[in-house]
Amino acid sequence: MAVARYRIQQVRIGLDDDEATIRRRLARLLGCPVSQLQAMQCVRRAIDARNKRDVHFNCQYEVELGAPLRRLPEGVAPFTRSRLTPETPAIFRRTLPADEHVVIVGAGPAGLFAALALAEVGCRVTLLERGKPVESRMRDIGRLRARGALDPESNICFGEGGAGTYTDGKLYTRIKHPFVRHVLHQFVRFGADPDILVDAHPHLGTDKLVRIVRRMRNHLCALGVDYRFETRVDGLLTRAGKAVGVRTHRGEEIRATHVILAIGHSARDTFDRLLAQGIAIEPKPFAVGVRAEHPQALINRIQHGRFAAHPRLGAAEYRLTHQVADPHLGRRGVYSFCMCPGGLIVPSPTEPGAMAINGMSNAKRAGRWANAGIVVQLEPADLERHGLSRHPLIGIAFQRELERATFAAAGDAYAAPAMRISDFVARRASGTLAPTRFKPNAVPTDLHALMPAWLSQPLVAGVRAFDRKMRGFITEEANLLAMETRTSAPVRLPRDETTMQSVSLARLYPIGEGAGYAGGIVSAAVDGLKAAARIIDRHATAPPPAG
């Protein structure tokens, strides 16, 4: 008799439940004897900490039974293919002719996944990265943290893997697209823990992501990809309204049949050059603010109550939002961003004389500190009211203004102006800080004097609201560090919805965070795959294989 396979939704699993207890619960939900349960596998797991006296997991299980059920209980459905089984989308099982040559600018997640998809269908790919390989990049970031020495071409934002490599490696995304599961399976293929396929809020960790990116590079090179580092693209080659290649900072011209722009959210000089060449760019909303640093043990207690030290829970995280009344928008969003449990805050400037920060954590999230951006929604019109001239790059101008003020407030150094959270909401500058992990240095500063009131006031209101949701968020034990300015690109490169090509230049594909179409590792990777799929679909020599 064939095995019957079922998927069960909303299975409550206690923190201390053992395998026998879980088997009995699954059998009860199925309405069958435990002896019928031949195999079980958790395929989705989320922490439910809404009731601090009853923290548990909400799970989805796939099971195999020795005989089919006579009736299907609520929340139970048959399935044929496991959620954990990888499947390559049909579009990526086609073949491209050898004369198709794609130049990809940027080796972040968008560029890497586009290169992977194209190279594996036989396309000739040249992948250009202005920064260095992850190994060298780590050393440059180390020098910035240890000595305040910035390399403008190799830092948190520039280099192999993109800005996401040196964050938490978060893989959670709100986008709904069939390529999302494919991206996760590809990460597992290159060394990620298979738990990322199960966890509701998966992450890789910076340490693991570095190794994964290196394995992806080795695979791409084995496929014949021309993978070049320290190669900045300074211009596009065009003919008859089409992109036909790129010009590097060394003056080399690389001809191609398609150009994919995956330049990331901080390639400001590249945006300048694209605009000068007539490529359509428009300002878009973004967010700026500060980064909160709390003791991780405090966040654990707030989020998990008496279960804070339970070994199955690990470092607690949070996601907070608040709407502040605003005379221009009606309601202005304040929210936490890129929360890094058990991590540290790192300097993320890319330009001399300007300072910015970001957060990161390793796979185990075992550090003593938790950090998250606390940022305020901004619209281009806000910046015009602030006195900046209307321009496609107005958001970048404001980012620079804040970053230069931050550098000056830190004593003309790549240090972080900082203030206790309790002092910030009370609007008092005590001149003291809580203990901090930040390197190279945190400088006690009145953050209200650093940023305009129309930015600091919503931050105060937001932090107070967060404390109402997480009692203890406002504390003398925590600091706010400035400034978190690189949440996303403040620009968008408009593209045709169907072809994904620039509205101003055919065969130019602006993708990922830098183009304004993604907001994290997974969404950027999906955008890269979508661009690759458009090229494959239009130029493949054979239809997708059946099955």
Helix (H, G, I), strand (E, B) or coil at 71: coil
At which residue do the structure tokens 């970001």 appear? 358
Enumerate the CATH 3.30.70.2700 domain ranges in the chain, comma separated.
4-78
Enumerate the CATH 3.50.50.60 domain ranges in the chain, comma separated.
98-281+493-539
Q: Which two tokens stand for residue 532?
A: 């690759």
Using the predicted structure, report yes or no on whether residue 31 has a pLDDT greater than 80.
yes
Mean pLDDT computed over every residue of the chain:
95
Q: Does domain 98-281+493-539 have CATH number 3.50.50.60?
A: yes
Q: What DSSP designation does 70 have?
A: S
What does each C-alpha distance from 226 to 104, 375, 484, 503, 533 come to in angstroms? 10, 39, 35, 28, 20
What is the model's pLDDT at position 544? Answer: 60
What percentage of residues in the chain have a pLDDT greater than 70? Answer: 99
Q: How confident is the model at residue 546 (pLDDT cuts 50, 70, 90)?
A: low
Q: How confident is the model at residue 316 (pLDDT cuts 50, 70, 90)?
A: very high
> How far is 378 from 418, CA to CA, in rounded Å?
22
Across-strand partners of 22? none
What is the model's pLDDT at position 167? Answer: 77
> How far is 289 from 230, CA to CA, in rounded Å?
31
The neighbour count for residue 233, using CB atoms within 10 Å, is 24
Q: What is the mean pLDDT of residues 134-155?
A: 94
Q: How confident is the model at residue 2 (pLDDT cuts 50, 70, 90)?
A: confident
Q: Which two tokens stand for residue 4?
A: 């019957």
Using the predicted structure, report yes or no on whether residue 449 has a pLDDT greater than 60.
yes
Tell me the pTM. Answer: 0.95
What is the model's pLDDT at position 276? Answer: 97
* CATH, domain range 4-78: 3.30.70.2700
Higher-pLDDT residue of 61 and 163 is 61
What percentage of residues in the chain have a pLDDT greater than 90? Answer: 94
β-bridge pairing 508-510 and 253-255: unpaired
